[in-house]
Structure 1
Amino acid sequence: VIPGGYGQYELMSHEPTIQFLQKIYPQTKFLMTVCTGTLLAGVAGLLEGYKATTHWTSHHLLGYLGITPVKERYVVDRNVVSTAGVTGGIDGALILASLVAGSEVAQQIQLYMEYDPKPPFNSGYPSKAPKSVLDTVTNNAKSITDKREIACQNYAKLRELG
């Protein structure tokens, strides 16, 4: 599982982390990325040619990494489960549990967790959020999104050079 969030963009240019992911990936049966962890897996070259998702503020960056962007809460492509925002990680974990142990076990886990989300507001995705809320969050995320974009652009340039 590769998580995202604040601090993740620094790892996108941290060579020991990239090398670790490249080394361990061939030994894994499944890979799961949560939120902007998809970008970290992408700069490690693990998702080239895959369909995937990530947090909505960084969704436009997936193409730099050779990833086909899909605007869904979670995406399963071959051995990779990618999720959008952090709460999508719960959905992805349940999907991963079903892939590993079957849907009955995944449903048992969901019940034990009492996972039956009913958010108090209908603003959990940009297309649903009021414009003022969307504008504020977009503004607040601009600095970190810009840093992530630079890291993705650098990866794309290196990829072009071969």
Structure 2
Amino acid sequence: MNKPLTVVFPLYPGVTQLDFTGPWQVLMHLPGARLIAASLGGESIVSEGLNFASLQPLESLTECDVLCVPGGGGCTDAMKNPDFISHIQRLADNATYVTSVCTGSLILAAAGILRGKRAACHWMYLDTLAWFGAIPVSERVVRDGNIFSGGGVTAGIDFALTLVAELAGEERAQRIQLGLEYAPAPPFNAGHPDVAPAALVAQQLASTAALRERRRQIIQEISLQ
């Protein structure tokens, strides 16, 4: 690479930390990459008991090569925040790659970036992408042109390796994967509703029904604005 590759992760209250720390761990090994975690006003972000401080002010960033938007329980508030969305739109306009992990794709969708585009999302909210004119795809990593999206939380690592292969070749991506010993061998085949026991899926849906329905209502209201 002839110049540093700038990767920006815009953070917000309620972000899921693995949505960005997973890709961060992969992309930090990409030669020439400069990773930036940013938030509105450079404010510290608390995520699942972890405090992320010394962040760059999102409004101070003029451009990036890769925009990576993570998801999380706070994504609906981020979607409703016009300042946050305007910076997503601004940075995405000139980014070489626009990317997301989990429900981060909903933020891209709310910013009007995914209309007519194929995209992934967490399985509980995948269908809501269609409310913004996007095309929901139930896959770990989805690419449509310069837009990459990872499905659920852990798909961020798969997405990042896919992006490294695009930027620096498959050998480099494989070397990073080997260095991280990323060789998933989960103890249970329950990571997606298509393969998890039906009773477990039903329990998960029942236990999150009220919160999920409220979030879906908010997402739909945003899509109609």
Indicate whether the TM-score tops 0.5. yes
Q: SS in structure 1 opposite 2:148? A: strand
Q: 2:137: which partner in 1?
A: 70
Q: Determine the structure 1 residue equivalent to 2:198.
A: 131
- Given candidates 97, 100, 103, the residue that maps to 2:170 is 103
Structure 1 residue matching 2:80: 3-state secondary structure: coil
Identical residues among aligned pairs (%): 37
1:17 aligns with 2:84: yes
Unmatched segments (≥5 aa) in structure 1: none
Alignment of 1:84-103 (within 5 A): 84-103=151-170
Pick which of 104-113 and 148-157 moved more.
Answer: 148-157
Which stretch of the first structure deviates more once superposed, 69-78 or 133-142?
133-142
Q: How many matched pairs? A: 158
Whole-angstrom CA distance in 1 between matches of 2:209 and 2:151: 18
| 1:11-90 pair list within 5 angstroms | 11-90=78-157
Alpha-carbon distance in structure 2 between the residues aligned to 1:94 and 1:122: 22
Alpha-carbon spacing, 1:41–1:129, altered in 2? closer, same or farther (3 Å): same
DSSP-derived class of the 2:158 partner:
helix
The whole-number CA distance in structure 2 between the counterparts of 1:64 and 1:135 is 24
Residue among 130, 136, 141 paired with 2:208: 141
Deviation at 1:136, TM superposition (A): 2.0
Q: TM-score, normalised by structure 2?
A: 0.67
How far apart are 1:8 and its partner, in Å?
Answer: 1.4
Q: What CA distance in whole angstroms lies between the structure 2 residues aligned with 1:48 and 1:12?
A: 16
| Cα shift readout 1:51-107 (whole Å, capped 9, x = no counterpart) | 011000001101101111111111011011111111111000001111111111111
Amino acid at match of 2:125: S
Kept after mapping to 2: 8 A contact 1:65/1:152: no
C-alpha displacement of 1:138: 1.4
Cα distance, 1:130 vs structure 2: 1.2
Distance (Å, rounded) in 2 between the aligned partners of 1:44 and 1:144 = 23
- Partners of 1:141 and 1:89 in 2: CA distance: 23
Question: Alpha carbon RMSD of aligned pairs, Å?
Answer: 1.3
More strand per residue: 1 or 2? 2
Question: Runs in 1 of length 4+ with deviation above 3 angstroms?
Answer: none
Alpha carbons 1:54, 1:85 under 8 Å: kept: yes
Equivalent position SS for 1:4: coil
Residue type at the aligned position of 1:93: A
Q: TM-score, normalised by structure 1?
A: 0.92
Runs of at least 5 residues in structure 2 that lack an aligned partner in the other structure: 1-67
